[in-house]
Amino acid sequence: MNLLIKGITIADPNSKFNGKTCDVSVENGIITAIASKLENLESAEVYHGKGAILSPGFFDLNCVFGDPGLETKEDISTGTAAAAAGGFTGIAIMPNTKPVVHSKGEVEYILNRAKGNLVDVKPIGAISQNLEGKELAEMFDMKQAGAVAFAEAGKAIADDGFMSRALQYALGFDGLLFTHPENKALVGKAQVNESKTTILLGMKGAPALAEELQVSRDIFLAQYHNAPLHISNISTAGSVALIKKAKKDGVKVTCDVAAHQLVFTEELLNDFDSNYKVKPPLRGKADNKALIAGLKDGTIDAISSQHRPHEIEFKNVEFEIAHYGIIALQTVLPLLLQAGLDTALIVEKLAIAPRNLLKLEVPQIAVGQAANFTAFNPTQEWQFDSETNQSKSANSPLFNTMLKGKVTLVYNNKQYRVF
């Protein structure tokens, strides 16, 4: 599909046009010309990019769909539509489906279901059979079939010995484990952060210590085995400090943070809105600041959506029995802008670093390269509601609100969408 983009600012550190306002021509999925001014192409749609930024396509490291088995939450079709509307041309999806993605059969099913999509879908396999933390899953076979990493999908592996064996096994075939930072023994039945705020609300809190102990254990194990490890969804200032020191000490550790953890705080729980119930729980303002600082100094490698769709019956209930998670693919960009992140940092943490972590090819905005990019306007406002929401679910605290920062175009796999 031919496209001519007029007058857009390019934000790609790997492109010689980085920071320049240019016209970009795409023919049959290939960038054919970039210049200050290009003539209109026959049979090409013209997209006017004034005020917009052109970035390599975003890639999400951590989202959940329901396919296979839980398609009433989200299927491949609706999930990739939401991803595209959020600027993501690639996503890695967690294995907590029904059946669990714990063998090559489920990996192949997802890849076949997603074939031909504008959005690249990369399965993450389970570390253990049925996510039970008892027997290792068929990780090598899954990697051969196309799994890009392995995780327990928001569950922490409590057994130290099992985690040690999993790291050792994955090291043999260059597999990457994603871990969730939560010591369940310390968290118990707590569902919110432990602080003065949550005590006043009458809710039992999970201390930051529960996250930081798990982060420490995983760092020590990675160091012992000299194995790569990715800690997903960190949320506390203490976790940032631990990972910063580990990197300085040469441990092969990386991490990501969910976009909402940079903006939302525990004070938002005052009305007991279950749409703010997430795991890890929302923390305090000091944690927000530490996480943002960690992104800026390179401690935190990437930003994820932590997209978790749920049917209304799992969210429109009392806070204590509501399920964790929010739909987030379409709201990542507005939250990052609200957090004060600049364009260069957003591009690095959303488009480049996630692919580097998974050893995937990073798209470039350059002549001769396959077109894989996202255009967004950082000042354009839009309403997130039932008309603009592309997800099958609607569990977001930002639903029916005006947001600033809109994705206006995505292009990948010889397909594009204008929003």
pLDDT digits (tens, 9 = 90+) for 51-92: 999 999 999 999 999 999 999 999 999 999 999 999 999 999
Categorize the per-residue pLDDT at 43 as very low, low, confident or very high, splitting at 50, 70 and 90.
confident
CA gap 175, 172 in Å, rounded: 8
Residue 41 has pLDDT above 90, yes or no: no
| Residues β-bridged to residue 401 | 384
pLDDT tier at 206, thresholds 50, 70, 90: very high
- Say whether pLDDT at 1 is over 80: no
Averaged pLDDT for residues 392-416: 98
Give 348-384 pLDDT, tens digit per residue: 999 999 999 999 999 999 999 999 999 999 999 999 9
User: For 100-107, what is the mean pLDDT?
Assistant: 97
Question: Cα separation of 348 and 369, whole Å?
Answer: 19
Q: Indicate whether 40 pLDDT > 90.
A: no
CATH number of 3-54+366-389+401-418: 2.30.40.10
Tens digit of each residue's pLDDT (9 = 90 or more) over 218-270? 999 999 999 999 999 999 999 999 999 999 999 999 999 999 999 999 999 99
The average confidence (pLDDT) of the chain is 97
User: Which residues lie closer than 8 Å to 312 by C-beta, 6 or more apart?
Assistant: 394, 395
Extents of the domains making up the chain: 3-54+366-389+401-418, 57-357
pLDDT of the residue at 197: 86
pLDDT tens digits, residue range 128-153? 999 999 999 999 999 999 999 999 99
Any idea which fold 57-357 has? TIM Barrel (3.20.20)
Q: Between the CA of residue 8 and those of 18, 75, 87, 128, 191, what are the distances in Å?
A: 11, 33, 16, 46, 45
The answer to whether 136 and 143 are in contact (CB under 8 A) is no
In percent, the amount of the chain with pLDDT more than 90 equals: 96
pLDDT digits (tens, 9 = 90+) for 266-290: 999 999 999 999 999 999 999 999 9
How far, in Å, CA of 139 to CA of 100, rounded? 13
Largest CA distance in the chain: 66
pLDDT digit string (tens) for 162-182?
999 999 999 999 999 999 999
Residue 198 has pLDDT above 90, yes or no: no
Signed CA dihedral, 169, 175, 176, 178: sign only: negative
